[in-house]
Amino acid sequence: MQLRHIGEQEADPSWPMPLWSGYDEDLGSRIADMNNVATHAFAGSIVAALFLKRFVTRTRNWVHGDVYTWNAKERPGRPVGGDPHVVRALYRLIRQRFG
């Protein structure tokens, strides 16, 4: 089962983000082989995933979970404030696959 569907069951949403190559140049550096962040605040999750993609070479399927999120509204088991979104869904996916 895909992480996206498991996330729906856990009320812990996730979705695929585009790894748009236009942001890849934002990892360039004048003094190093590459930066690990962009010099601007746009598309941070995508830029981070593009950075990781450079090191994931032996598999087609991989996940970049951007876990810094914020709950603006209190719900059962989800208080107002910082919340590690996608962690619940990843945990369930791992349990389903590996017991």
The secondary structure of 19-49 as a DSSP string is --GGGGGGG--SSSS--SS-SSSTTHHHHHH
The span from the CA of 65 to the CA of 38, in Å, is: 18
The span from the CA of 45 to the CA of 17, in Å, is: 8
Domain boundaries, the chain: 3-60+67-98
Provide Rg for the chain, Cα atoms.
Answer: 16
**For a pLDDT cut of 90, what percent of the chain falls above it?**
26
Q: What's the whole-model pTM score?
A: 0.69
- pLDDT confidence bin for 25, thresholds 50/70/90: very high
Phi, psi of 75, rounded to the nearest 5 degrees: -140, 165
Between 61 and 1, residue with greater pLDDT: 61
Q: Which helix (H) or strand (E) holds 81?
A: strand 81-84
